[in-house]
């Protein structure tokens, strides 16, 4: 027969394992999001070489995983300075997401995007939105398990 302490230790161990499993899942989602961002980046790098200045892409999508959070943000890229004087610098302006949503407004991305990259943007943004939603839900689960862990350790 297990004692109360053994039961609590077993429950604590299982809770910690569950939290680690969820953190690993966030890492996997981060890898998938990074792959999607890389698809857009590779397309833009290949196409921008062949385009005039006015037809180059000004969109950039970037993923970052920190702890149990993940961001996949779109940025509008701008340039200032002289290329010949080697003072050219890039600026990144965050494009805001819709309030209460996990995805970006496609009308905003269409307005900023070039016609030749829209198929890729329309393909990856819904996938990124789903990843953002999943991370949001996994975070809720981690918070709940952390509360349970505190109770178990009292």
pLDDT score at 143: 94
Q: What is the mean pLDDT of each run of 10 residues along the chain (154 residues)?
A: 63 88 96 96 92 89 92 92 84 91 93 94 96 96 92 76
Long-range contacts of 20-24 (CB under 8 A, 24+ apart): 22/68, 22/138, 22/141, 22/142, 22/145, 23/68, 23/142
Q: Is 40 buried (19+), middle (13-18) or exposed (0-12) by CB count in 10 A? A: buried
pLDDT score at 139: 95
For residue 60, the cross-strand partners are 75
Q: Name the H helices within the chain.
A: 4-48, 106-112, 118-152
């Amino acid at each position: 027969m297990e004692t109360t302490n053994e039961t609590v230790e077993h429950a604590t161990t299982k809770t910690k394992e569950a939290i680690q499993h969820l953190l690993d899942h966030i890492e996997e989602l981060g890898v998938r999001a990074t792959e999607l961002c890389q698809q857009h980046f590779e397309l833009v790098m290949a196409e921008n070489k062949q385009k005039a200045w006015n037809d180059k892409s000004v969109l950039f999508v970037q993923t970052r995983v920190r702890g149990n959070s993940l961001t996949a943000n779109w940025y509008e890229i701008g340039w200032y300075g002289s290329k010949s004087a080697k003072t050219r610098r890039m600026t990144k302006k965050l494009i805001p997401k819709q309030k209460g949503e996990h995805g970006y407004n496609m009308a905003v991305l269409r307005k900023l995007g070039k016609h030749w990259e829209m198929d890729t943007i329309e393909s990856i943004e819904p996938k990124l939105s789903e990843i953002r939603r999943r991370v949001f839900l996994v975070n809720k689960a981690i918070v709940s398990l952390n509360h349970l862990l505190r109770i178990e350790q009292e």
